[in-house]
């Protein structure tokens, strides 16, 4: 009798063993997907990890229902990668499966088709007159339709099948008449598979010639790849990093390898794909979460077949595509925290996962950014990674000029116009007069982060979370950014009944509204989570701004990530303090990255750009580093702090979050759990309440574990797992959840 160990998308650590019915034994291989019964009523799609002859003894095994593939769809190498993720990020293989196969059934989908009409093969130029003669006697309408078909399909030059829908529209005719012509064997219908990836008829262009600096860097990278698996390209914004990537991709493709080009954000894939398509044509495919199942499946299959799509441009989930011969992984904007999945397991960092994946393939990894993350730069400094630098912008465009504006003065003198200093407004006006564009950055969406009653101090909060509700003007509602709860804007204070509710603080929506009142004749747009819910809306904002239909673009960190706009001369940072004062040990580093990146959008082609930073603490060291664009000084200052306070890169962090409906339960469990952990590990901090300590009616408690880099993380992780198991079996945390976040950001 044969058995299969099967990975099932449920959050239990073990695999489940099923028996293989005899009629399926012949076609059963590891890496195939199967349909299996689970529990009393459920049916799951799982993946066979192992086939053997040992019957499980602890439980009564069930039988596999069906095999869903004709060949293995998951290779050994992919399994190894899944297992690494599960081990490193302390999650189950079922969790990884869910992230890796977002679609239920790769390889077996119904392709979308479209109906085409063409002349029947029996019709030719020679017998056409006879056909017309006969037809004219029978039906005037059919004759007319045939005539218009010949015209529409370009019959007298090179007849092409035409789309049924388009033709009916053109001829203003009915399907009935058309069908009569088909019955007479004059026309014929065909179903064609729709090519969902627009095969753009682009002229394929040769690679650009690298300039001197880029060429040196390109050669250095190749040399370093002889000794190192990972190289960091630290290049200022607009130095031509992307051009260097393109040359390396081209080399890898020529050696018959596959390439993965990772970006942190869908918006970026949209902007860069055009540039890459003109060079690599249909060798390149995109992959991201806004694709539907059909598109995802199609991409999966094309990568699997290794035909076209030898290069994948994608976001973090593309790590799980079925690569067979990866030669190079490029991780652009490597410092971005959106590479880390934080909302559900596996809570993996795609940058770190990619480095591991590349290693398994014997491939190389190139990390690129203008603002490396401290941990990455540290790895480069100690020689673990190779390091190369591009310090000049392409064609000697100058770095933007940074101007820090002390808003305290203007507040005192009552010269602020709401959130705009007179300096910023003046620069905006000048730029508008010169037909230049402007970007305004505010890292908060909505109109204002909270409301307050001026009489009694009441602040509307979410019913389900311990957080104030954000006012959204568009919908005239108060919205919870943690759970989505919303309520209508209250007409009066719900605590004291007074009518003195005021909006406090500001988000992107307010900035957009206000700037439009200052400059009524201009066009504004906003790019944040609220305005980019669909793939199309992203594209529209970006292309409208590119084609200058929009004068001022207001946005959150979404606009900071590597978008290129040629005509932007002014970048305004509305409130640097919100970033600098954020209570997190990475706040300084993040502020430096964000402001430097947003600044990089200014003055890219025609003239030097200007960045205006509004702040109440102009003397803040991070702002000083930004002003002189001194990454290294920032790095050294941060590194000293990290060392002193035991943070990465010197210590690894693991955050454990306990989640429960009842506050008392979570409190007690967290205290008990922390005590257990302290017996096993040196540095256990907490339990503490997170900034938002209740989300969706669940109470949260955090415990932070710090592990010295010199100690093996495996041992610590085992201890943590032991404590988790003890907590689970203790009975004090029934129906509670423990969220494990390794390397939290
Ligand atoms: P980065 O990725 O470092 O921000 P990009 O590669 O986007 O920089 O380059 C910035 C601009 O300069 C782009 O418009 C790009 O086309 C142009 N550019 C950079 N290098 C070259 C080159 N060698 N030849 C032609 N244009 C280049
Ligand atoms: Zn009140
Ligand atoms: Zn809420």
Lowest mean pLDDT among 91-100, 128-137, 339-348, 545-554: 128-137
* pLDDT above 50 for 440: yes
> Does the pLDDT at position 104 exceed 60?
no
Q: Which of 373-377, 597-601, 608-612 has the highest mean pLDDT?
A: 373-377
Our answer on whether the CB atom of 221 is closer than 6 Å to any ligand 1 atom is: no
Distance 386 CA to ligand 1 centre (A): 22
Ligand 1 atom nearest to 564, measured from its CA: 7
Contact status, residue 327 vs residue 257, Cβ threshold 8 Å: yes
484: left (phi over 0), alpha (psi -120 to 50) or beta: left
Q: Is 391 in the pocket of ligand 1 (CB under 6 A)?
A: no
Task: Output the pTM of the full model.
Answer: 0.86
Minimum-distance ligand to the CA of 502?
2
Residue nearest to atom 9 of ligand 1 (CA): 240
Mean pLDDT across the chain, nearest whole number?
91
CA 642–ligand 3 middle distance (angstroms): 33
Would the CB of 241 count as within 6 Å of ligand 1? yes
Confidence of residue 102 (pLDDT cuts 50, 70, 90): low
Residue of 118, 149, 121 whose CA lies nearest to 135: 149
CA–centroid distance, 468 to ligand 3, in Å, is 9
Note the pLDDT tens digit of each residue in 687-702: 999 989 999 999 999 9
Residue-wise pLDDT for 471-491, tens only, equals: 999 889 999 999 999 999 999
- Rounded distance from Cα 451 to ligand 3 centre (Å): 15
What's the average model confidence in pLDDT over 17-22? 95
Give the ligand whose atoms come closest to the C-alpha of residue 490.
Answer: 2
**Separation CA 143–CA 137 (nearest Å):** 9
The whole-number average pLDDT for the span 710-725 is: 94
Q: Given pLDDT bands bounded at 50, 70 and 90, which one contains residue 107? A: very low
Q: Which two tokens stand for residue 422?
A: 């007179």
pLDDT in tens, 162-187: 888 888 888 888 889 999 999 999 99
Label each residue of 518-560 as H, E or C: HCCCCCEEEECCCCCCCHHHHHHHHHHHHCCCCCEEEECHHHH
Distance 225 CA to ligand 2 centre (A): 65
Pocket test for ligand 1, best of 205, 235, 243, 371 (most atoms within 8 A of CB): 243
- Centre a 10 Å sphere on the Cβ of residue 429 and count the other Cβ atoms it contains: 14
Give the closest residue (by CA) to ligand 1 atom 23. 210
Nearest CA to ligand 1 atom 26: 208
| Residue 106 predicted with pLDDT over 50 | no
Other Cβ atoms within 10 Å of 609 Cβ, number: 25
Could you tell me which residue, 152 or 103, shows the higher pLDDT? 152
Tell me what the mean pLDDT of segment 546-553 comes to.
94
Judge whether residue 108 has pLDDT over 50.
no
The residue-averaged pLDDT of 28-33 equals: 93
Question: Can you give the pLDDT at residue 109?
Answer: 65
* Helical ranges in 314-382 per DSSP H: 350-361, 374-381
Beta bridge partners of 45: 35
* Mean per-residue pLDDT, 638-645: 96
Banded model confidence at residue 294, pLDDT cuts 50, 70, 90? confident
Q: Which of 50-54, 201-205, 454-458, 553-557 has the lowest mean pLDDT?
A: 201-205
* Cα of 315 from ligand 3 centre, angstroms: 28
Banded pLDDT at 367 (limits 50, 70, 90): very high
- Any atom of ligand 1 within 6 Å of the Cβ of 369: no
For position 606, what pLDDT does the model report? 67
pLDDT of residue 6: 96
CA–CA dist 724, 392 (Å, integer): 51
- Percentage of the chain exceeding pLDDT 90: 70
Q: Return the best residue to mutate from 240, 395, 598 for the ligand 1 pocket (most ligand atoms within 8 A of CB).
A: 240
Instruction: Give distance in angstroms: CA of 479 to centre of ligand 3.
Output: 8
CA–centroid distance, residue 583 to ligand 2 (Å): 29
Q: Which of 237, 238, 568 for a ligand 1 pocket mutation test, highest count of atoms within 8 Å of Cβ?
A: 238
What string of DSSP letters covers 643-665?
HHTT-TTTEEEEEEEEEES-HHH
Asked whether 240 lines ligand 1 (CB < 6 A), one says yes
**Regarding predicted confidence, which is higher, 305 or 669?**
669
């Amino acid at each position: 009798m044969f058995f299969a160990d099967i990975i099932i998308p449920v959050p239990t650590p073990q695999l489940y063993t099923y028996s293989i019915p005899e009629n399926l034994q012949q076609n059963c291989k590891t890496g195939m997907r199967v349909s299996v019964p689970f529990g009393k009523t459920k049916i799951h799609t799982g993946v066979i990890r192992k086939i053997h002859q040992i019957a499980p003894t602890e439980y009564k095994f069930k039988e596999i229902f069906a095999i869903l593939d004709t060949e293995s769809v998951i290779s050994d190498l992919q399994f190894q990668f899944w297992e690494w993720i599960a081990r490193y990020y302390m999650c189950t293989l079922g969790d990884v499966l869910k992230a890796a196969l977002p679609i239920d059934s790769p390889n077996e989908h119904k392709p979308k088709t479209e109906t085409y009409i063409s002349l029947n093969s029996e019709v030719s130029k020679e017998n056409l007159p006879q056909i017309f003669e006969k037809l004219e006697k029978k039906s005037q309408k059919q004759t007319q339709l045939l005539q218009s078909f010949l015209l529409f399909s370009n019959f007298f030059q090179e007849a092409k099948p035409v789309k049924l829908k388009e033709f009916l529209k053109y001829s203003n005719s009915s399907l009935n008449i058309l069908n009569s012509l088909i019955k007479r064997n004059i026309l014929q219908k065909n179903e064609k598979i729709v090519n969902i990836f627009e095969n753009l008829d682009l002229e394929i262009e040769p690679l650009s010639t690298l300039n001197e600096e880029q060429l040196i860097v390109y050669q250095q990278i190749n040399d370093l790849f002889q000794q190192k698996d990972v190289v960091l390209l630290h290049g200022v914004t607009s130095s031509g990093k992307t051009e260097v990537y393109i040359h390396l991709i081209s080399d890898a493709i020529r050696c018959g390898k596959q390439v993965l080009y990772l970006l942190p954000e869908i918006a970026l894939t949209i902007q860069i794909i055009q540039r890459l398509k003109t060079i690599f044509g249909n060798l390149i495919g995109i992959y991201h979460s806004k694709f539907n199942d059909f598109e995802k499946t199609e991409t999966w299959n094309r990568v699997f077949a290794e035909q076209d799509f030898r290069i994948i441009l994608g976001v973090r989930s593309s790590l799980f595509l079925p690569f067979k011969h990866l030669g190079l992984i490029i991780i652009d904007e490597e410092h971005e925290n959106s590479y880390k999945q934080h909302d559900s397991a596996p809570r993996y960092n795609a940058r770190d996962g990619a480095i591991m994946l590349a290693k398994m393939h014997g491939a190389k990894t190139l990390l690129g950014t203008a603002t490396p993350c401290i941990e990455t730069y540290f790895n480069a400094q100690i020689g673990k990674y190779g390091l190369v630098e591009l310090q000049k912008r392409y064609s000697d465009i100058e770095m933007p000029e940074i101007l820090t504006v002390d808003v305290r003065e203007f507040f005192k003198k009552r010269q602020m116009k709401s959130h705009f200093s007179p300096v910023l407004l003046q620069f905006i006006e000048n730029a508008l007069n010169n037909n230049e564009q402007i970007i305004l950055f505010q890292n908060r969406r909505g109109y204002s982060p909270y409301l307050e009653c001026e009489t009694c101090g009441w602040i509307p909060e979410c019913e389900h979370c311990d957080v104030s509700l954000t006012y959204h003007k568009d919908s005239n509602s108060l919205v919870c950014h943690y759970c989505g709860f919303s309520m209508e804007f209250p007409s009066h204070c719900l605590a004291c009944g007074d009518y003195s509710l005021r909006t406090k603080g500001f988000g992107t929506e307010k900035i957009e509204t206000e700037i439009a009142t200052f400059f009524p004749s201009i066009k504004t747009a906003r790019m944040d989570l609220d305005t980019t819910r669909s793939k199309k809306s992203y594209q529209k904002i970006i292309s409208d701004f590119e084609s200058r239909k929009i004068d001022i673009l207001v946005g959150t960190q979404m606009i900071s990530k590597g978008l290129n706009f040629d005509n932007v001369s002014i970048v305004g940072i509305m409130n640097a303090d919100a970033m600098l004062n954020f209570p997190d040990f990475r706040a300084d580093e993040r502020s430096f990255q964000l402001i430097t990146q947003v600044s990089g959008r200014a003055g890219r082609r025609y003239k030097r750009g200007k960045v205006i930073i509004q702040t109440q603490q102009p003397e803040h060291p991070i702002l000083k580093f930004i002003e002189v664009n001194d990454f290294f000084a920032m790095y050294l200052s941060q590194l000293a702090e990290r060392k002193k306070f035991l943070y990465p890169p010197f210590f690894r962090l693991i955050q454990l979050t306990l989640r429960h409906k009842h506050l008392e339960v979570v409190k007690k469990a967290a205290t008990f759990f922390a005590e257990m952990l302290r017996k096993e590990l040196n540095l256990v901090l907490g339990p503490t309440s997170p900034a938002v300590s209740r989300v969706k009616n669940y109470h949260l408690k955090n415990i932070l574990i710090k592990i010295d880099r010199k100690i093996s993380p495996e041992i610590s992780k085992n201890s943590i797992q032991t404590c988790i198991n003890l907590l689970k079996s203790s009975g004090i945390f029934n129906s509670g959840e423990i969220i494990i976040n390794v390397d939290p950001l």
